Amino acid sequence: MPELVSIVLPFLNMARFLPAAVESVLAQTYPEWELIIVDDGSRAEEAREAHAIAARLAPRARVLVHEDGGSHGASATRNVGIAAARGPYVALLDADDIWLPGKLTRQVEALQRNSEAAMTFARVRYFDNATPGVGEYDQPYGDLREGVYAPPELTLEFMKDASVYPCPSATLVRTDAMRAVGGFERKFRLVKTDLVAWTKLTTNFSVHVDRSVLVRYRQHAQSSVASVRAAGTASDYEIAYLDWLLRYTEGLPRRVRSAIEPIACERLHYFAIQRALKQGHTSRIAWRLVVVPRLWGYRAFWRHGRWLRAMLAGGGSLRWKKP
């Protein structure tokens, strides 16, 4: 008998997209699934659509909310669904995305064939919500090969090329592995929520990569990515992720840590220079950011440069402190 897949569908005021997402679940060739819709504090009229869908699909579908009924961000919302999952596999589906019909079947088979892998992910096809069918393109994978990667190979690939890390809707994860790494990080509410979770998985487990396109990824003005681009804060989120990564690697085996740290520190150094110039700091400060890390080593510079971390946080003294 096929194993149960727990589909976790978080949403916040995107009821207009829910029917298409749910129809793509119903179109799956894989028969055994449950649908867990998690409401992140949507308006009443938006939430009604989710409850109507769950009632129509009962008992295979249900709607969950946060204990306080509030809004806590994408990470906490996904965690609610993961905690409630009954199946050995969790498939994430964002409310504005659409699965292709064979998505679940192909990914369950991939994990069954590769028992050492904790997760499998595939590519997406991007489409513009305003002009569907026009200018669609597939997610680039570069040199990323199909197959199983040992930790931390994919973590390094994600840092080198952000275009290759997976969209949540294109993943299938073993439930026990996702719970073992603590799920999604609540401090990341909007952007980098998925990358942080994938980093925890790819530094601790082997992961399978599929070069097939299995998801349609909707691009629209209300998406988190579009909001960040409009605000011009992308580098802020990069810095937050890399700072988290360097702290997280301290608890990992030396082999994994030594592979990640040089790349992470160099990228953090790059974004620190961008931030310094953006905040209008003097050329002397920018020069120190360029030259001094090369003399001390990026890791020592970041660990001991309290003045730099204060600057990156948006405040504090810029007085020079040698480690």
Q: Are residues 181 and 251 in the same domain?
A: no
Where among 214, 229, 244 does a domain terminate?
229
Q: Are residues 221 and 248 in the same domain?
A: no
Q: Are residues 19 and 162 in the same domain?
A: yes
Domain that holds residue 252: 232-312
CATH at 46 = 3.90.550.10
Q: What is the pLDDT of residues 148-197, one digit of tens each?
A: 999 999 999 999 898 899 999 999 999 999 999 999 999 887 778 999 99
pTM of the model: 0.85
Q: What is the pLDDT of residues 78-110, one digit of tens each?
A: 999 999 999 999 999 999 999 999 999 999 999
In a domain, 58, yes or no: yes
Q: Are residues 136 and 160 in the same domain?
A: yes
In a domain, 322, yes or no: no
Q: Are residues 56 and 159 in the same domain?
A: yes
In a domain, 68, yes or no: yes
Residue 28 has pLDDT above 90, yes or no: yes
pLDDT band at 262 (very low <50, low <70, confident <90, very high): confident
Instruction: Provide the CA 98 distance to its chain's centre, in angstroms.
Output: 17
Residue 295 has pLDDT above 50, yes or no: no
Q: Are residues 238 and 142 in the same domain?
A: no
Residue 128 has pLDDT above 70, yes or no: yes
In a domain, 318, yes or no: no
Residue 282 has pLDDT above 80, yes or no: no
In a domain, 323, yes or no: no
Whole-number percent of the chain with pLDDT over 90: 63
Where among 229, 247, 270 does a domain terminate?
229
In a domain, 319, yes or no: no
Residue 72 has pLDDT above 60, yes or no: yes
| Count of the separate structural domains present in the chain | 2
Buried (b) or exposed (e) across 275-314, using 16+ Cβ within 10 A? bbeeeebeeebeebbeebbeebebeebbbebebbeebbee
Mean pLDDT of the chain: 85
Instruction: Provide the CA 110 distance to its chain's centre, in angstroms.
Output: 21
